Homo-oligomer: A and B are copies of this chain.
């Protein structure tokens, strides 16, 4: 229905499987994953404009000052942010754009794009979350407990999201996510032009013009 793209923001607990979900979703369906800007150095195999837009601190700070970022944050001495122009261009072309960002950033996106769709990805329960984090085998128990403590803070923001996406079975989760985004095209807020057209047509008919 609506021709304008839907802006979807995906957040969730670390260990909820967001990355795997995004990969599977983008492989199967035609979404644009927004590319973040960062001041950190490219790792081996990373390309400018594919994994990230790699910028100097001066370039990044100039984007902050000129309001060209939807949201940004500084982690461990590096900036990370979402360029506004890239997102707006894709939406205007009718592409559905996905941002995978953490909660504070997601809430900032909602301020700038009130019609953004906010999805929160979670495992079916916390025992599952813990066993996924342990299962990775890459982190110490201390780090895992820190992640769970962080998740405990993050859980307080779930109610600010629109939908809860439970990642239990990956294929099912991909389909649910896709359907939730597709349905957004039928929302009244996405169809203001259609409503205006129908209203104008009815008015003209009532007045005998057609």
- List residues of chain A with CB under 8 Å of any chain B CB: 1, 120, 122, 125-127, 130, 148-149, 151-152, 155-156, 158-159, 161-166, 176, 179-180, 182-183, 186-188, 191-192, 194-195, 197-199, 201-203, 205-206, 210
Say yes or no: A183 contacts B180, CB within 8 Å: yes
Q: How many copies does the complex hold?
A: 2
- State how many angstroms separate the Cβ of A153 from the closest Cβ of chain B: 9
Q: Which of B162, B179, B188 contacts A163 (CB 8 A)?
A: B188
A192 — which chain B residues lie within 8 A by C-beta? 159
Per the bound structure, the CA–CA distance linking A120 and B189 in Å amounts to 13
| Known contacts A165-B186, A179-B182; 6 further A-B pairs (Cβ under 8 A) | A1-B164, A125-B201, A155-B198, A163-B187, A176-B183, A176-B186
